[in-house]
Amino acid sequence: MPKPLDNDKLTFPILIGDIGGTNARFSILIDAYAEPKQFPSVHTADFSTLDEAIQITVLDKTSVQPRSALLAIAGPIEGDEIPLTNCDWVVRPRAMIADLGFAEVMVVNDFEAQALAVASLSDEDRAPIGNNNHSPVASRVVLGPGTGLGVAGLVHAQHTWFPVPGEGGHVDIGPRSERDFAIFPHLTPIEGRISAEQLLCGRGIVNIYTAVCLADGVEPKFTIPADITATGLSAADAQAAETISLFVTYLGRLAGDLALIFMARGGVFLSGGISQKIIPALQRPEFRQAFEDKAPHTALMKTIPTFVVTHPLAALSGLAAYARTPASFGLATEGRRWRR
């Protein structure tokens, strides 16, 4: 078993990496004060292993030899061989230490990294949804529709940020309005239920659109999420337009539920690839209406801000924030930190 370590500093220079299902992004943090040295983002499919991607895209391109690596990955972190969700790579920290010259490797969950990022996002790196652009220093939530639906809480207590990565994308979601009751019977349950991720991700956009078409007795025209949002945003197609409206409504409902669970007075932050692409739809009334529609707590919900994270490399910025000042974060390291 890996040896548990305290939340002490990783040794600089630190390679930080955000390994998604489709893309991997790397940078090097020379010390606690320097801006990260950014490397071009790469497609995971272009390299057979993570180690090869690090060697070719980072180590071969710089004379700086990182002493530590801090990686965010999509998927649960268990044991010494960590397979990635949606990609063939396996993270092998012990082999990275042996072969790539690192003294230490630490691996965290990708939404934990997103949560670390929203602890300190500047105004330029977020777009408010609604009238409130103030985020007090208080607990927050990150909710990210992309290939899947990621969720993490960020609890603020004792002057410390505690990321809470969970599987919140898999909570149940059910019909509420009369129109929902007409559409939901056309969704395909998985093992008897509809989870939030079945509606609130790229595939979910297609699921909603198809169910709307079936409810209307119309042949579906689109199978690609980006086509549905593009057509829906321009209102060129009634079913695609309704899909966008329902998508932001359901996202607002879930965002509100999560804000209630975490008492997230610091706000709910929408990350992931889709949120940034549909900001105009999120700024229409439906998202905030659904978010605030939480009687008997409507007055409370009106005070909670909501944002789209617009930072292009939010997970990397979260990892860099942790690498600089680990003591500001209550990040669990047990079983996730390996050293030579």
Ligand X SMILES: Nc1ncnc2c1ncn2[C@@H]1O[C@H](COP(=O)(O)OP(=O)(O)OP(=O)(O)O)[C@@H](O)[C@H]1O
**Pairwise CA distance, residues 246 & 179, whole Å:** 10
Selected binder of ligand X within 176, 277, 297, 324 (CB under 6 A)? 277
Residues touching ligand X: how many (CB under 6 A)? 15
**Pairwise CA distance, residues 259 & 46, whole Å:** 39
Which residues within the stretch 173-232 sit at the binding site for ligand X (CB under 6 A)? 202, 205, 225-226, 229
Selected binder of ligand X within 7, 23, 289, 328 (CB under 6 A)? 23
22 is in an annotated binding site: yes
Minimum CB separation from ligand X for residue 150, in Å?
Answer: 8
Q: Binding to ligand X by residue 21, rule CB under 6 A?
A: yes
**Pairwise CA distance, residues 206 & 251, whole Å:** 15
Minimum CB separation from ligand X for residue 24, in Å?
Answer: 8
Which residues within the stretch 141-180 sit at the binding site for ligand X (CB under 6 A)? 146-147
Place of tokens 């349950």: 189
**Pairwise CA distance, residues 209 & 340, whole Å:** 51
Q: Binding to ligand X by residue 272, rule CB under 6 A?
A: yes
**Pairwise CA distance, residues 223 & 295, whole Å:** 37
Half-sphere exposure at residue 63, Cβ-oriented, CA atoms within 13 angstroms = 0
Q: Binding to ligand X by residue 273, rule CB under 6 A?
A: yes
Q: Binding to ligand X by residue 14, rule CB under 6 A?
A: no
- Helix axes 238-262 and 225-233, enclosed angle (nearest 10): 100
Residues 187-191: contacts with CB within 8 Å, 24+ apart?
Answer: 187/211
Between 205 and 259, name the residue whose CB sits nearer to ligand X: 205
174 is in an annotated binding site: no
Identify which range of 21-29, 58-66, 177-185, 302-310 contacts ligand X by CB under 6 A. Answer: 21-29
Minimum CB separation from ligand X for residue 20, in Å?
Answer: 2
**Pairwise CA distance, residues 22 & 74, whole Å:** 11
Which residues within the stretch 84-143 sit at the binding site for ligand X (CB under 6 A)? none
**Pairwise CA distance, residues 234 & 192, whole Å:** 35
Please state the residue numbers annotated as binding site. Answer: 17-22
Q: Which residues bind ligand X (CB under 6 A)?
A: 20-23, 146-147, 202, 205, 225-226, 229, 272-274, 277
